Amino acid sequence: MAFVVYQGERKIADVVARAYGDLKVADRKRAEAALVRANPHLSELADVSKGSLIVVPPVPGLSPTDQTDLAAPAAEGVGAVADALAALQRRLTESVKAEDDRLDAVQTQLKSKAVLALLDRAPQARPYVDRVTTAAKTRTDEQETRLEVIKRLDAARSELADLATQLR
């Protein structure tokens, strides 16, 4: 059986064109009817989610295009997961960078003349400053661990890309 993945087409005719190629008007109408019979959810395209699997039914005299093999949806799904992983990796990297910037600002402030002057005038503040310093150091160490995990996502993305290639 042949399949295609819904890519957000606005008309059934567009799905048919991708599934069967360019057709004469009469053949396109037959293909549209067969496609909707096999996939009743297509009667309201606005309600169909991108990435939904569409069965491409056999229609006498028509042949599905190369895009309609069983592996294509799996390869597209794996590709979508790899893309989502790449987007997550970018967001995590940005988050770590922003947190590093905040930690640098805290550590700079802790070493500033103003904080050192405060500690000279109010030595009882030393335990609080020490706790903040320790917490900032701990957080910096945690950031290094986060970066290592984010770097490992590269390997996962590479493996997904290899899998998608094998599935095609």
Determine the Cα–Cα distance for residues 67 and 55; give it in Å rounded to an integer. Answer: 12
In a 10 Å sphere around its CB, with 0-12 CB exposed, 13-18 middle and 19+ buried, how is residue 129 labelled? Answer: middle
How does residue 128 score in pLDDT terms, banded at 50, 70 and 90? very high
Here the tokens at position 63 are 């042949």
Angstrom distances, CA of residue 27 to CA of 12, 13, 23, 45: 13, 11, 6, 21
Residue 61 CB neighbour total at 10 angstroms = 9
Q: Using the predicted structure, report yes or no on whether residue 124 has a pLDDT greater than 90.
A: yes
Per-domain residue ranges for the chain?
A: 2-68, 71-167
Residue 78 CB neighbour total at 10 angstroms = 20
Determine the Cα–Cα distance for residues 135 and 132; give it in Å rounded to an integer. Answer: 5
| 29-88 pLDDT, tens digit each | 999 999 999 999 999 988 998 888 888 999 999 888 766 555 566 777 787 788 889 999
Identify the pLDDT of residue 71: 56
Residue type present at position 156: A
Identify the pLDDT of residue 65: 79
Residue 137 CB neighbour total at 10 angstroms = 12
Instruction: Let me know the angle formed at the C-alpha of 92 by 108 and 111, rounded to the nearest 5 degrees.
Output: 5
